[in-house]
Amino acid sequence: MAKVVVGMSGGVDSSVAAIKLLDAGYEVIGLFMRNWDSTINNDILGNPNNLNDICPQEKDYNDALNVCKKLNIPLHRIDFVKEYWDYVFTYFLNELKKGRTPNPDVMCNKYIKFDMFIDKALELGADFIATGHYARIKDGKLLRGIDRNKDQSYFLSQVSKEKFKNVLFPVGELTKEEVRKIAHEYDLVTADKKDSTGICFIGERNFKDFLKNYLPNKPGDIVNIDTDEVLGKHIGLMYYTIGQRRGLNIGGTKERMFVVSKDLDKNILYVALGDESKYLLSYACEIEEVNLLDELPSNCTAKFRYRQPDNEVSVSMLDSGNLLIKYPQGVKAVTEGQACVLYDGDVCLGGGIIKEVFKDKK
């Protein structure tokens, strides 16, 4: 009987992944990863009146333990706190310092879930590893999950192709509704558990309150890019992203302004009023840290953000090994630091991190 080590997160998706593996006849072992230590700095817990409450990650572990007991499978626990800090959180902070908009979940999959986790699973004698990601592997290719609204192939685009060799995605063929239905049939504690949202180590806490513990605020001017008028003060460039409209706290106009660019040297946040297309449209970008999962055609589609529709693009390799992505139809708010993920239909071809955005048609 083949042995599968499944990453048990304490959520409904990994719970049902374990059920599907058992139904398929595998010997199943659960492995819970502890990636963040909320007790390092009590200030980041968000609510000082509830410091004695169980932290969210411990609650997740208890839920995973409850599920594994119900399914009669063992659950191991591994601590990746230091590794997560070194490879994911430090990357996150460094990108923010550069004025970019990072995606730490992409790096967590690359360095933790499909690297160090695999090593630990092999120590436990795994023939395969499995997670609750909404994605599929078919003929050695990474495919989108059946549930397009929950598809997570975007977040797997930086994982090396060889890491997928013995990976199973048991819920990739299911919709979220079907996953919850199975969890209810087994009366699991996770059946109605809310999906985690936002950045994993911040959770439900206020982003600004959390971040100020690690990066000092550097307030500066908010300037109208068209008139050079100072409209107010920003609380730190790291808190804003291109295209953002909410939270600018600029009075004096009925129409909300939006973020156009940042000047790190002068610590200025530039905003504009009016037609977004004039300021936010770009027609090409260069991506670095390229990771290819399949042969790259000259024309394919790309996502520049997770929830974004597919965009028709052309791709060419630069001498540096980076890729030039062209989209002559124009796309709004393509942002440095975000992942650009390439697709050919349902097949995820890989991608890279957006290094530079070009407003002119190259």
The pLDDT, as a whole number, for residue 109 is 94
pLDDT beneath 70, residues of the chain? 38-55, 197-205, 252-254, 362
> Which residues make Cβ contacts (< 8 Å) with residue 263, sequence separation at least 6?
270
- Which domains does the chain possess? 3-185 (3.40.50.620), 217-274 (2.30.30.280), 280-358 (2.40.30.10)
The pLDDT, as a whole number, for residue 259 is 95
Which is the catalytic residue, given 55, 68, 108, 348? 108
Instruction: Enumerate the β-bridge partners of residue 129.
Output: 5, 167
Pairwise CA distance, residues 301 & 311, whole Å? 5
The pLDDT, as a whole number, for residue 275 is 83
* Span 16-38, pLDDT tens digits: 999 999 999 999 999 999 888 76
- Tell me, yes or no, if 200 is annotated catalytic: yes
The pLDDT, as a whole number, for residue 327 is 97
Q: What is the CA radius of gyration of the chain?
A: 22
> Which residues make Cβ contacts (< 8 Å) with residue 241, sequence separation at least 6?
101, 259, 335
- Tell me, yes or no, if 340 is annotated catalytic: no
The pLDDT, as a whole number, for residue 272 is 93
* Span 161-202, pLDDT tens digits: 999 999 999 999 999 999 999 999 999 999 999 887 666 666
Rounded to whole angstroms, the maximal C-alpha distance in the chain is 70
The distance from CA 205 to its chain's CA centroid, rounded to whole angstroms, is: 17
3-state secondary structure of 20: helix
